[in-house]
Structure 1
Amino acid sequence: MSNQPAEAAIRTELFGSNIEFGYSQTWLAYSLLGLRIVMAWVFLQAGLEKLFEGGLSEPLAWSSTGFLTNAIAEANPLYGLFQFFAGYSAIVDPMVVFGQILIGLALLIGVAVRFAALMGAIQMTFFWTAAWQGGLMAGFPVEHGYFVDSSFVYLLLLFGLGAWGAGRIFGLDATLEQTAVVRNNPWLRYLLG
């Protein structure tokens, strides 16, 4: 038995061009596991900080209202949408807090990773669009540049974790996919992986 990393190749079409490249399956698995754990930490920490912002005696003191009413630039093309959300903080706040905690836990234990990645990507899309300082004609400026900020990077990382099915690597998704429920309902594989 060789101690050499398992090599594989990807053959696909991307933007009309045939692409082929080799990669190490071992190092891909390590990198996906590492990215999944890091993204789990990002979400879990953010959610828990919000949950306990008021301390243990006053959980869920955090509110999105201040951010939504004061931090969104008026030049942001979605300014009106975020002002609308500010009026529903009783719904938005628990969705953000508990959404982040559940996304973090799902990524951490590797269960329903594709679904968690999708929900995280949706949340990151909202955070990213909230950071726009202007619209298309201004180049969608964000605080430290144009177009790309950390929320956009997280969005792409979550897309990759879902696309590769990172929950199968030291996660419960690999076990769940072998159950009779999933075998009899193949559509559930779109949530797992």
Structure 2
Amino acid sequence: MATKRQPSEQTIESSLLGRTVAFNYSETWVAYSIVGLRLVMAWVFLQAGLEKWADGGWGDPLAWSSAGFLNNAVAEANPLYGLFLWFGDYAALIDPLVIFGQVLIGLALLFGVFFRFAAMMGAVQMAFFWTAAWQAGLSQGFPVENGYLIDSSFVYMLLLFGLAAWGAGRLAGIDGILEQSDVVRSNPWLRYLLG
């Protein structure tokens, strides 16, 4: 028996784990939820970057340092412990990447500009934060502070990947305008950075 759909409802049919799945969704609510999630993630990055920048006063944007965390907070049982100690030796290079990376990622997510690139860079940063939070290795289930395997960095990483897949920068963002430009039309590879 067919059900009557509302005008803004659509149906997605796809293959998931070898099975065909279908579900109805509202285009309007999907658009609002995608923009809302984009703005929340923009705030997460922008706030984190600006707090680090302001930590030592606006006159010295690099007063905050990752060295204390990298050298002291990563558990010795973490299988990547040595990698994070090595990063600690290069905090002078890591710190501006974190601070300015978070600010720029936050702004790109906020304005929907070069969204896919920004979301992927944010996901990479979240992957580093997630692996740094491991308290031990695979045999212990990669425990993190409040459970096993999953923490907020992991959730943010997946959320950013999903937003990039949806092309969230096109919804009330600058990427929707940029994709109509002659430069992008002449260079279709730029669409991998936009969206």
Please state which band the TM-score falls in when normalised by the shorter chain: over 0.9
Structure 2 counterpart of 1:27, one-letter code:
W
CA distance in 1, matches of 2:122, 2:53: 17
Amino acid corresponding to residue 63 of structure 1 in structure 2 = S
Q: TM-score, normalised by structure 1?
A: 0.96
Gap regions ≥5 residues in structure 1: none
Structure 2 partner of 1:77: 79
Which residue of structure 2 lines up, in the alignment, with residue 95 of structure 1? 97
Select between 141-150 and 14-23 the one with higher mean Cα deviation.
14-23
Pair 63,99 (structure 1): closer, same or farther in 2 beyond 3 Å: same
2:128 & 2:166 partners in 1: Cα distance?
Answer: 23
Partner of 2:194: 192
Match of 2:21 among 19, 22, 35: 19
Cα deviation digits, residues 127-169 of structure 1 (max 9, x gap): 0000000000000000010000000010011011100000011
- Of 45, 48, 63, the residue aligned with 1:46 is 48
Deviation string 1:43-89 (CA, Å, 9 cap, x unpaired) is 00000010110122433210000000000000000001101100111
Match for 1:152 among 148, 151, 154?
Answer: 154
Q: Percent identity?
A: 69
Shift of residue 13 of structure 1? 1.3
Extract structure 1 runs of 4+ deviating beyond 2 A. 56-59
Which deviations, in whole Å up to 9, do the C-alpha atoms of 1:21-45 show, x marking residues without a partner? 1100000000000000000000000
What residue ranges of structure 2 are gaps of 5+ in the alignment? Answer: 1-5
Q: TM-score, normalised by structure 2?
A: 0.95
C-alpha displacement of 1:5: 5.7
Q: What's the C-alpha RMSD, in Å, of the aligned pairs?
A: 0.9
Question: How many correspondences in the alignment?
Answer: 190
Matches within 5 A, 1:1-193: 6-193=8-195
Secondary structure of the 1:13 match is strand
Task: In structure 1, give the amino acid aligned to 2:28.
Answer: T
Question: After alignment, is 182-191 or 129-138 more displaced?
Answer: 182-191
- Cα distance change, pair 35–5 in 1 and its aligned pair in 2 (3 A): farther
Shift of residue 18 of structure 1? 1.3
Distance in 2, matches of 1:57 and 1:180, equals 41
